[in-house]
Chain A
Amino acid sequence: EDQVTQSPEALRLQEGESSSLNCSYTVSGLRGLFWYRQDPGKGPEFLFTLYSAGEEKEKERLKATLTKKESFLHITAPKPEDSATYLCAVQARKAAGNKLTFGGGTRVLVKP
């Protein structure tokens, strides 16, 4: 069974204090690993897809990396508007319909 574990559960940062979020996964053949951002009262919003170990994607202050067992989401010099819950999800090659299995998320709070 596919499993995704995210750590830490919550992260409090000062504005400008860079940090990393971890997503550990077990899946029988990875088709893709996805990062989403979720704001309170809203649905998850797509950020990145990573397909193979060594791949990196960047968007503004966010950078996602992937190894064979985990992914990291690096937040560089965060701003208060980066406060959100960040969700990681995996899609197995054998997953019919491209089903995504999500982790529990990391709640990030960036204080000014």
Chain B
Amino acid sequence: DAGVIQSPRHEVTEMGQEVTLRCKPISGHDYLFWYRQTMMRGLELLIYFNNNVPIDDSGMPEDRFSAKMPNASFSTLKIQPSEPRDSAVYFCASRKTGSTLYGYTFGSGTRLTVV
């Protein structure tokens, strides 16, 4: 099992540009979560999906952020337009219903720098 795969690992972009982060969850996992990690705020949940349907997006900071999950093996998080305060590490995590005992499995993250 390759685990949760995120791309790119690093992204540097200029303010105002569109940024797309990608995630491939573990096969068979029906929940997918997007988290953001910063020194000031720690890990914050942005949005999560169940069976490809967005369930709770209350953590999405602004309308500039959007997320999609077109199928069970792929999700994107898009920021348009990007701002310097969006600089953070973005993590994707997945889990399978009934597997609470083992928590989530996280990807290695995408470090986003907006200059």
Binding site for B on A (CB under 8 A): 31-32, 34, 36, 41-46, 49, 87, 89, 91, 96-105
Which residues in A have their C-beta under 8 angstroms from that of B105?
A: 46
A38, B93: Cα distance in complex, Å: 14
State whether A49 touches B102 (Cβ < 8 A).
Answer: yes
State whether B42 touches A105 (Cβ < 8 A).
Answer: yes
Which residues in B have their C-beta under 8 angstroms from that of A98?
A: 31, 95, 100
Give chain A nearest CB distance to B56 CB in angstroms. Answer: 6
Binding site for A on B (CB under 8 A): 4, 31, 33, 42-43, 45, 48, 50, 55-56, 91, 93, 95, 100-109
Select A104's contact among B42, B50, B91, beta carbons within 8 Å: B42
State whether A49 touches B56 (Cβ < 8 A).
Answer: no
State whether B100 touches A31 (Cβ < 8 A).
Answer: yes
Known A49-B102, A99-B48: A42·B109 in contact at CB below 8 Å: yes
